Amino acid sequence: MKVCQKDDMLTFKDEPETSSQAPKDRLPPWNVLVVDDEPDVHSVTKLALDSWTYGGRPLKLTHASSGREAIDMLRDRGDYAVILLDVVMESELAGLDVAEYLRKRLNNNRTQIILRTGHPGTLTDNEAAAVHGCNFYEPKSYITSERLKSTLAVALKDYSSPPHPSMECGR
């Protein structure tokens, strides 16, 4: 291996052949719904997760800017693996309404919900998460890109291999 010196010109590795990977080999992406009324949250989420993959599969982000919009999207299709969900939007508890709608009205217990919020309105953090069937609770000011990815990784793992019903009590 060639030893690099500080003043060496930068030599780039050759670009891969674009045709080397056949489309049929590529795995389908994970559908992830990002719900937030703040455009920059969408931007930063997109940036942080752009090239990230789990189990060799990339993410396909869908964006909703309100609880109302999120509910419409969830009603339209049921194959979201994860929802990154803001709480306080058009109302104090708009995000929790989305969670409740998903769990109770759509009876969907598989899609993983990661709550991301500045503060969860009138409920305490864990109450809010538990009562409304949310799987993860992440205070916005603690979500580094690593933490976002590791939480997503756990969520996607749970999504792809749901825990056996008998195991659920132990979790």
Partner 1 sequence: METRQHKDEFEAILSSNIVAIISADLDGRITRWSAGAEKLFGYSSESAMDINLQALVPPSQQCELQTVLEKLKRKRSIPSLTTQRMKKNGDIFAAEFSVFPVLDDDGKEVLGLVSITSDISNRRQSEEKLAEFSKRIETILDTVLDGIVTVNSGGIIETFNPAAERMFQYRAHEVIGCNVNVLMPEPYHSEHDGYLRNYALTGKAKVIGIGREVAGRRKDGSVFPMSLAVAELSKGENPSFVGVIADITEAKEREAELEDQYKLVKVANDNLTASIDRLKEMQQQLVESEKMASLGGLVAGLAHEINTPIGIGVTASSHLSAISTALEAALHNNTLRRSELDNAIEDINKTSALIFRNLERAAKLISSFKKVAVDQATDELREINVVDYLQEVVLSLQPELKKHHATVDISAEGRFFLTLNPGAFYQIISNLVLNACLHGYAVKGGVIAIAVCQKNNRTIITVTDKGAGIAPEHLGKVFDPFFTTRRAKGGTGLGLNIVYNIVTQAMHGTISVESEIGKGSCFTISLPSAPTPPPKAQD
Residues that bind partner 1 (CB under 8 A): 1-2, 4, 10-16, 37-38, 40-41, 43-45, 47-48, 50-51, 88, 90-92, 116-119, 139-148
Smallest separation (angstroms) from partner 1 to the CB of 140: 3
Smallest separation (angstroms) from partner 1 to the CB of 104: 24
Q: Are 152 and 159 in contact (CB under 8 A)?
A: no
Smallest separation (angstroms) from partner 1 to the CB of 147: 8
Phi, psi of 36 (to 5 degrees): -165, 145
Query: Judged by CB, which is closer to partner 1: 118, or 162?
Result: 118
Smallest separation (angstroms) from partner 1 to the CB of 25: 21
Query: Judged by CB, which is closer to partner 1: 48, or 154?
Result: 48
Smallest separation (angstroms) from partner 1 to the CB of 141: 5
CB burial string 104-142: b at 16+ within 10 A, e below:
eeeebeebbbbbbbeebeebeeeebbeebbbbbbbeeee
Query: Judged by CB, which is closer to partner 1: 8, or 76?
Result: 8
Q: For residue 134, give both structure tokens.
A: 């949310």
Phi, psi of 100 (to 5 degrees): -65, -40
Query: Judged by CB, which is closer to partner 1: 43, or 126?
Result: 43
- Rounded to whole angstroms, the Cα distance separating 110 from 161 reads 10
Hey, CA dihedral for 54, 114, 127, 147, is it positive or negative?
A: positive
Query: Judged by CB, which is closer to partner 1: 38, or 79?
Result: 38
